[in-house]
C-alpha cells in the first residue's frame, strides 16, 4: 500500500465512528435493532480497517502527515507506527466485543439512545489519540474522549454516579490543564510538538522538568497513577459493565500511551537516564502497584475490587516504561495487551453476574460457579492470568518485565512484582474458590419459586449467548497469547520496544 491510501484509511478509521454518531442518534428514533446492528457494524469496520494497516507496519513503516494547520506551527496531524497500530487494533477489538456485549446487557437499561452514539464516538476519539501525529492533536483527542466518556460513566444517573462523574470530570480538567501546560512548554522550548521529529527536548532544564511533571500529571491521571488515581475506583464501578470494561481495558491505556510518546518522542532516552527523571515515574509506579493491590484486598464490591486492581496493573506498565530497556518495554507493551484482555473479561463477566443475579458483593458469590459455569470459568481464567499463573498471558508479561528489571540491575522491582502477584492471588482467589467449591446460599435460588429443591440448585442461569461469546473470546485470548512467546502480539510488543528504543527503526 502506498502512503496516500494509508493516510486515507487512518482518517477513515477516526472519522467513521465520529460520523456514525449523529447517524446513530437519528436511527435510535426509528428502530432499536437497526441501531444495535449499525453500532456493531461500525466497531467491526473500524477493527477491520485498522487490521488493514498491518502489512505496512510489519516492515517498520512510519507515516507522518499534517492534515490541517490550526495555528502557525501547530497542526492537526496523523502519525502511524507500530505502537499506534498495536494500540489502535487492540482498542477497536475490545470495543467491538464490548459493543456486542452491550446489545443484550443494555436492553434493560434506560437511555440507550444516548449510550450507543457516545460509545461509538469515544471509539473514534480513542483511535484519534493513537493516530495523533503531534502532542496537540493528541491533547485534543484525549480531552474529547475523556469528556465524552463522562456520559458513559454517569449513565445510570444515580446520585452516586453523578458524584463519581463529577470527581472524574474535575480530575480530567486538571489533567487537561496540566497537559496544556506541558505542551506549551514543549512548544516554547522546541518550537514544535510534532511526534515526527524524533527528539524535541535534548537538554535538561528546569522548564523541561516542569513539562515532564506536567505530562506525568496529565497522562498519569488518566492511567490511574498514584496519587491521581482517586477518581478511578469511584468512576469505573458506577458505569454500565461494558463501559467499565472499556474504561479499564482501553481508556486507561491512553494515559500509558501518552507517557510512552512523551518519553520516546519528546525527551530522549539518554536525557531521562542521565537526569534520572525516569526515577520519578518508577517511584510513583511502585507506589501505584502496591497501593492498588493492597486497597483492592479491602473492597467487597466486585467492580470496585476490579477497579483497584486496574490501578495496580497499570502500575506495571508504567514501571516497565520507567526502566527504559528492551525487555522491560516489551513487557510493558505486552502488559497493555494482557491487561486489556484480562480486565475486560473480568468486567464483562462481573457485568454478566450483576445482570443475571444482581449480586455485587463478593461474599454473596458462593456457588456461583455452578449456576454460571461459563461466565465464572472465564472469570477464573482471567483472574488466574492476573495473578500470573503460567501459561496465561499475565505470566508472560510479568516474566518479561522481571527480565527487564534484572537487566537494568534492579532486583527490587522483581520483588515488587512478586509481592503484587501475591496480593493479586489474595484478592482474586477468595472470589473463585467459594464460587466453585461452596454451595450457593439457599435464598438466592428460591426466587423462581421452585420450592428450593436440590435440582434447582444446579439450574444453570447463564447470560445470553451474545454476552457469553464476548466474555469467552476475551478469556481465550488470555490463554492463546500466553502459551508461548511465539505469538503475534508478543512479537508485536517486541518489535515495538525495538522500534522505540532504536529511535524509529527496528
Partner 1 sequence: MESAGHQPVLIIVTLLISAFLSPLLYRWRKFLSGMVLLAALTGAFVTALTLLGQVARSGELSYYLGNWPPPWGIELVIDPLRVYMLLVVTGVSLWIFVYALRDLEHELHHDVIGWYYSLYALLVASMSAMTLTNDLFNLFVLMEICAISACAIITIKDKRECLEAGFKYLIMSAMGTGCFLLGVAMIYMVTGYLNFSFIQTGLAAALSEYPLNIFTAAALFIVAFGTKAALFPLHVWLPDAHASAPSPSSAMLSGLVIKIYAFALFMIFYRVFPRSLLDAIPLNEIILWLGAMGVMFGSIYAMLQTDLKKMLAYSSIGQIAFIFMGIGLDQPLALTGGLYHIMVHAFTKSMLFMSAGAIIYSTGVRRISDLAGIGRVLPIPLLAFTIGSASMIGLPGTGGLISKWYLALGALETGRIFFLLVILASSLLNAIYYMPIVINAFMSGDEFKEKVKTVPPSMQATLVVGILLVVISGIFSRQIIVLFEQALTSLY
Given the rule CB under 8 A, which residues bind partner 1? 69-72, 74, 139-140, 143-144, 147, 154, 157-159, 162, 165-166, 169-170, 173-174, 176-177, 180-181, 184-185, 187-188, 207, 210
- Chain CA centroid to CA 15, Å: 21
Cα–Cα distance measured from residue 222 to residue 232, given in angstroms and rounded to the nearest whole number: 9
CB of residue 10 to partner 1, shortest distance in Å: 20
Cβ-based nearer residue to partner 1, 72 or 449 = 72
- 141-163 burial string, b = 16+ CB within 10 Å, else e? bbbbbbbbbbbbbbbbeeeebee
Q: Which residues, 6 or more positions from 333, have their beta carbon under 8 angstroms from its beta carbon?
A: 83, 86, 260, 320, 492, 493, 496, 497
- For the record, the C-alpha cell of 186 comes out as 514543549
Which residue number, 149 or 381, has a Cβ lying nearer to partner 1? 149
Cell of 423: 496480593
Helix (H, G, I), strand (E, B) or coil at 267: strand
Give the contacts of 19 (CB within 8 A, at least 6 positions apart): none
Q: At its nearest, how many Å lie between partner 1 and the CB of residue 201? A: 14
Whole-number minimum distance, CB 494 to partner 1, in Å? 35
Q: Pick the closer one to partner 1 by CB: 184 or 389.
A: 184
Least distance from C-beta 389 to partner 1, angstroms?
A: 42
Cβ-based nearer residue to partner 1, 157 or 298: 157
Q: How far apart are CA 296 and CA 23, in angstroms?
A: 41
284 upstream amide cis, omega within 30 of 0: no
Smallest distance, partner 1 to C-beta of residue 71, A? 6
Name the minimum Å distance from CB 126 to partner 1. Answer: 15
Residue closer to partner 1, measured from CB, 70 or 107:
70
Smallest distance, Å, CB 154 to partner 1? 6
Rounded to whole angstroms, the Cα distance separating 307 from 296 reads 8
Cβ 217 to partner 1 shortest distance, Å: 11
Q: In this structure, what C-alpha cell is assigned to residue 1?
A: 500500500
Give the Cα separation of 487 and 467 in Å (integer): 26
> How many Cβ atoms are within 10 Å of 298's Cβ, its own excluded?
10
Residue 128 or 249 with smaller CB distance to partner 1: 128
Question: 218 vs 434, which CB is nearer to partner 1?
Answer: 218
14 or 144: CB nearest partner 1: 144
Distances in Å between the Cα of 469 and the Cα atoms of 44, 76, 248, 359, 374 are 15, 38, 20, 21, 10
DSSP three-state, residue 74: strand
Amino acid at each position: 500500500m502506498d502512503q496516500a491510501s494509508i493516510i486515507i484509511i487512518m482518517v477513515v478509521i477516526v472519522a467513521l465512528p465520529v460520523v456514525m454518531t449523529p447517524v446513530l442518534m437519528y436511527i435510535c428514533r426509528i428502530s432499536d435493532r437497526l441501531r444495535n446492528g449499525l453500532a456493531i457494524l461500525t466497531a467491526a469496520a473500524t477493527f477491520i480497517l485498522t487490521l488493514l494497516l498491518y502489512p505496512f507496519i510489519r516492515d517498520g513503516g512510519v507515516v507522518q502527515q499534517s492534515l490541517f494547520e490550526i495555528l502557525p506551527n501547530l497542526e492537526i496531524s496523523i502519525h502511524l507506527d507500530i505502537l499506534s497500530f498495536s494500540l489502535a487494533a487492540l482498542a477497536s477489538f475490545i470495543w467491538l466485543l464490548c459493543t456486542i456485549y452491550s446489545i443484550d446487557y443494555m436492553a434493560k437499561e434506560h437511555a440507550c439512545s444516548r449510550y450507543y452514539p457516545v460509545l461509538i464516538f469515544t471509539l473514534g476519539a480513542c483511535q484519534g489519540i493513537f493516530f495523533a501525529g503531534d502532542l496537540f492533536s493528541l491533547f485534543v483527542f484525549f480531552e474529547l474522549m475523556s469528556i465524552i466518556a463522562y456520559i458513559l460513566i454517569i449513565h445510570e444517573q444515580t446520585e452516586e454516579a453523578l458524584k463519581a462523574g463529577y470527581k472524574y470530570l474535575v480530575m480530567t480538567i486538571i489533567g487537561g490543564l496540566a497537559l496544556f501546560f506541558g505542551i506549551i512548554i514543549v512548544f516554547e522550548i522546541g518550537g514544535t510538538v510534532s511526534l515526527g521529529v524524533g527528539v524535541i527536548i535534548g537538554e535538561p532544564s528546569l522548564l523541561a522538568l516542569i513539562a515532564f511533571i506536567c505530562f506525568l500529571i496529565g497522562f498519569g491521571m488518566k492511567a490511574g497513577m498514584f496519587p491521581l488515581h482517586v477518581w478511578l475506583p469511584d468512576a469505573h464501578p458506577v458505569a454500565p459493565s461494558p463501559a467499565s470494561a472499556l474504561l479499564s481495558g482501553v481508556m486507561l491505556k491512553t494515559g500509558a500511551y501518552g507517557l510512552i510518546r512523551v518519553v520516546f518522542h519528546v525527551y530522549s532516552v539518554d536525557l531521562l537516564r542521565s537526569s534520572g527523571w525516569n526515577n520519578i515515574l518508577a517511584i510513583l509506579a511502585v507506589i501505584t502497584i502496591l497501593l492498588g493491590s493492597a486497597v483492592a484486598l479491602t473492597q467487597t464490591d466486585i467492580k470496585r475490587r476490579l477497579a483497584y486492581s486496574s490501578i495496580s496493573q497499570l502500575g506495571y506498565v508504567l514501571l516497565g516504561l520507567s526502566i527504559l530497556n528492551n525487555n522491560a518495554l516489551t513487557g510493558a507493551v505486552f502488559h497493555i495487551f494482557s491487561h486489556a484482555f484480562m480486565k475486560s473479561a473480568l468486567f464483562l463477566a462481573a457485568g454478566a453476574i450483576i445482570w443475571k443475579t444482581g449480586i455485587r458483593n463478593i461474599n454473596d458469590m458462593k456457588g456461583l460457579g455452578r449456576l454460571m459455569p461459563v461466565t465464572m470459568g472465564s472469570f477464573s481464567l482471567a483472574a488466574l492470568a492476573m495473578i500470573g499463573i503460567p501459561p496465561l498471558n499475565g505470566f508472560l508479561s510479568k516474566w518479561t518485565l522481571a527480565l527487564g528489571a534484572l537487566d537494568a540491575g534492579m532486583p527490587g522491582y522483581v520483588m515488587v512484582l512478586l509481592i503484587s502477584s501475591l496480593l493479586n492471588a489474595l484478592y482474586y482467589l477468595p472470589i473463585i474458590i467459594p464460587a466453585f467449591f461452596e454451595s450457593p446460599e439457599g435464598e438466592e435460588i428460591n426466587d423462581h419459586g421452585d420450592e428450593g429443591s436440590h435440582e434447582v440448585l444446579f439450574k444453570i442461569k447463564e447470560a445470553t449467548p451474545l454476552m457469553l461469546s464476548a466474555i469467552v473470546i476475551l478469556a481465550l485470548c488470555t490463554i492463546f497469547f500466553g502459551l508461548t512467546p511465539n505469538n503475534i502480539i508478543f512479537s508485536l510488543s517486541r518489535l515495538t520496544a525495538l522500534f522505540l528504543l532504536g529511535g524509529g527503526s527496528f
